[in-house]
Amino acid sequence: MIVKDKCSLCKAKIREIVNLGSSPPANNFLSERYKKTISYPLILDFCDSCKGLQLRHCLDKEQLYTNYSYLTPDSSSLNKHYEVLVDFLVSKKFLNQGTNCLEIGSNNGQLLDFLKPKVNSVLGVDPAENVASIANEKGIKTVIDFFSEDLAVKLRSKGGMVDLLIARHMFAHNPDPDHMFKGIDLLLKKKGIILIENAYAFDTFKKGEFDQIYHEHMFYFSVQNMKNYLNSHGYDLNEIIYSYIHGGSMVFIGSRKGEYPISKEIQLKIHNEEEELRGGKLFHQFKQKIENTKEKTLQEIQSDINKGKKVCAYGAPAKAFTMFSVLELNHEKINFCVDTTETKIGKTFPLFNIPIISEEEMQQQVCDTFLVNAWNYKSEILEKSNTLFKSKTKLIFPLPDFEIVYT
């Protein structure tokens, strides 16, 4: 584990923004219940110099990603998001039938499978053998390794350079982005495009999405922070695309300095961010929102338990680890958690000892109230709620705005 005492992006001083206590590493589910596990601090620091946000305690990448339980879902909202990205890239002439594309952290190859008929070639890189093998089995060639400068040298010698390099929801998952960026620079053609997508820092804080803070998310990027970072490595930030996916994400599109025009929208967004940061209200309101969400959610859960009702959870995403930690929930209050991901079903949340079951098994059980951890898929959950849940089941959506829905 690395404990940081300065900004990893610009090496300046940092200061604490919020302390969420401690949590087991996200996505590290156990095969047996009540097994002893270690929790690690969740402290977020801010850099006044480059406006960067980072976790103070960063776990080793082998501990987080070697055997990974997250699989990119085949969801309508994600597929729509992919369509928007491709249409935008085509409109800017960043992507065509001759494009050679590489994705870092490609998981089960969902995005590359979508891109494959639209480009010349696709290649994935992912360190988790269990999920990368799924991509390889469906014809999406995936190198099973951590992306690094050394790997970039090998890939360049074997297959040449690429026109489009994608890093969706993984660039912030590395304690040393500089090391990764050296590899990116080696593989990208002179006029190549880099597409980085992450949870948008200002949405995370304005909406009080505290469960976005977990050990895989080592950095939280704003437009200003990403622009500063790319500029320091000889790159421009050319375009940004906002998406509601995953509770609010920002797509950053960059290239080597001077190769492409820079959108005027970028400076406007940076101006708005500066206004939001002025006076420190953003982080104060964030902490206030955490307390409000915690109070409302626990009040509903405890009230139902007192009435003899059975409370469960729906969704076992990485963010559920932080939700359970902050709300101090365990198997004594949450009977089980329901998920659709095969790699999670039959396993248990460490420390909280909450078992994970399938939707099919859930329908054989009695449950009156569900805490919805996968709140970012709210519309899709509600679409199937009448067939999935029993009549008059209570669904608690804790974020981004606390809401109770009855089926």
DSSP notation for 57-90: EE--HHHHHSS--------HHHHHHHHHHHHHHH
pLDDT at 130: 87
What's the distance, CA 229 to chain centroid? 20
Give me the residues paired with residue 162 across strands: 188
Say which residues have a Cβ less than 8 Å from residue 87's Cβ, sequence separation at least 6: none
Spell out where 56-161 has E strands: 57-58, 100-104, 121-126, 142-144
pLDDT at 144: 94
3-state class (DSSP) for residue 244 = coil
Count Cβ atoms within 10 A of the Cβ of residue 107 and give its class: 0-12 exposed, 13-18 middle, 19 or more buried.
buried
pLDDT at 72: 81
Q: Is residue 134 within 8 Å of residue 126, measured between CB atoms?
A: no
Neighbours of 328 (CB within 10 A): 11
Instruction: Report all structural domains of the chain as residue ranges with CATH numbers, in order of start.
Output: 1-295 (3.40.50.150), 296-406 (3.40.50.720)
pLDDT at 182: 95
Sign, CA torsion 72/73/77/83:
positive
pLDDT at 67: 67
127 upstream amide cis, omega within 30 of 0? no
The pTM (predicted TM-score) of the whole model is: 0.90
Mean pLDDT (10-residue bins), the chain, 407 residues: 91 95 92 86 95 93 75 83 93 95 94 94 92 92 94 91 95 88 96 96 95 94 95 97 91 97 96 91 94 97 97 97 97 97 93 96 95 94 92 96 95
Q: What are the tokens at 92? A: 């800017």
CA distance 253 to 238: 6
Report in angstroms the alpha-carbon separations of 336 from 15, 49, 371: 38, 44, 10
Q: What are the tokens at 100? A: 């050679």
CA distance 66 to 133: 13
Q: Is residue 165 within 8 Å of residue 145, measured between CB atoms?
A: no
CA distance 94 to 86: 9
